[in-house]
Amino acid sequence: MYEFLIAPFVDYVFLQRALAGSIMLCLSSGPVGVFLMLRRMSLTGDALAHGILPGAAVAFLFFGLDLAPMTLGGLIAGLLLALLAGAVSRLTLQKEDASLAAFYLISLSAGVLIVSMHGSNIDLMHILFGTVLALNDQALMLIAGIFVLSTVGLALFWRGLVAECLDPLFFRSVSRLGTPIHFAFLFLVVLNLVGGFQALGTLLSVGLMMLPAASARFWVNRVGPMCALAVAFGMVSSVAGLLLSYHAALPTGPAIILFCGAIYALSILGAPRGILLTHLRRTRPHRAA
C-alpha cells in the first residue's frame, strides 16, 4: 500500500510539485466554482476558460512558453471577453449567455489557429491540456499568489456573494455593491482559470473548478460546507489522478478531471440529494399507506 499510494510522492520531486500545485488550485478554485454554480453561471466559467486561449497564444507567439507573458496574456484576454460579453448584452437585445457562447467559439478558434501556425503540435497540446507534471517554482509561486488573492477576495465579498446567490433582486435593491461585486467576482474567476491553465490547460482548467462544486451541491445545502466539500473532492481527485497517471502512464490532467467526473456521478446516485435517496423519500409515504 505504501509503495502504491505514498512512495511516488516521496521519491519524485515532480510529483510533489504537481501535488502542491493541484492542492492550491483546489483550495482556490473550489469556492469560486461553488459561487459560479449558485449564481447559475457555470457555463460562464467554461466560456472564460476558452477565452483565455487567444491571449496565451499571442504571448506564445512572441515569447514562447514563458510563464509570465502567457499568464498576463491569458488574464487580459479573459477579462476582455467578460467585458465584451457584458457590453453586448447591455447594448443589444442579445442575452449574456449567447454573447459568451459566441465570443468563446471565436476565441477558441483564433487561439488554436495562432498556436498551430507558429508552433508544433506539442506546443498546442501543452496550451490546451496543460503540463501539471512539469510545474516549476515560478508556476507554483503564481498559483500560490492566486490562492492568496482568491482567499482574500472571497473573504471580503463573502456576504455580498451569498446574498446575491439567495436573492439577487433584493440585494441590488438595498445595496449599490451588486455591480462592483459582480465584476470583482469575474476577475477572481479569470484569475483562477489562468492559474489552472498552467497545470490543466485551457480546455480542462474549468473542470477542477466546476465538477467538485457540482458534486458538493448533492451533499449539503449551506454555502460554507459546500465550499469545503468542493475543495475536498478536488483534492481527492487530484491525488487519485496523479497516482493513476504515474502507475498507468496516462495523461495527468484528463485523469484528474475524470476522477472529478466519477465523484460527480457517485454524487448524482448516492448523495442525500441524489437520485436514489430522493426517490426513496418520495416512495416511502406511499408504501406506508
Q: Which residue has the cell 462544486?
A: 213
Average pLDDT value for residue range 35-47: 83
| pLDDT higher than 60, residue 181 | yes
Section 25-53 average pLDDT: 87
Question: Please, what is the end-to-end C-alpha distance for the chain in angstroms?
Answer: 50
- Nine-digit cell string for 21: 500545485
Q: Give me the residue label for grid cell 467576482.
A: 185
* Mean pLDDT for all residues in the chain: 85
Phi, psi for residue 40 in degrees, rounded to 5: 60, 45
Residue 288 has pLDDT above 50, yes or no: no
Asked if 74 and 111 count as a contact pair (C-beta separation under 8 A), the reply is no
Question: d(Cα 135, Cα 5) in Å, to the nearest integer?
Answer: 21
- Of 22, 28, 27, nearest in space to 188 by CA: 28
Q: Quick check: 212 and 260 in contact, CB under 8 A? A: yes
Quick one: pLDDT at residue 21? 92
Predicted pLDDT of residue 289: 44
142, exposed or middle or buried, with CB in 10 Å at 0-12, 13-18, 19+? buried
What does DSSP assign to residue 41?
-
pTM of the predicted structure, to 2 decimals: 0.87
For 150-216, give the DSSP string: HHHHHHHHHHHHHHHHH-HHHHHHH-S-HHHHHHHHHHHHHHHHHHHHHHHHHHHHHHHHHHHHHHH
Please state, for a pLDDT cut of 90, what percent of the chain lies above it.
34
Phi, psi of 218 (to 5 degrees): -75, -15
Delineate the domains of the chain, giving CATH numbers in brackets: 2-288 (1.10.3470.10)
> Does the pLDDT value for residue 190 go beyond 50?
yes
Q: How far apart are CA 137 and CA 66, in angstroms?
A: 13
pLDDT in tens, 81-140: 878 877 776 677 667 667 777 877 888 888 888 877 776 666 667 777 777 888 888 889
63 neighbors 69 (Cβ within 8 angstroms): yes
pLDDT digits (tens, 9 = 90+) for 5-14: 899 999 999 9
- How high is the pLDDT of residue 119? 62
Higher pLDDT residue, 240 or 195?
240
Cα separations (Å) of 83 from 51, 87, 90? 11, 6, 11
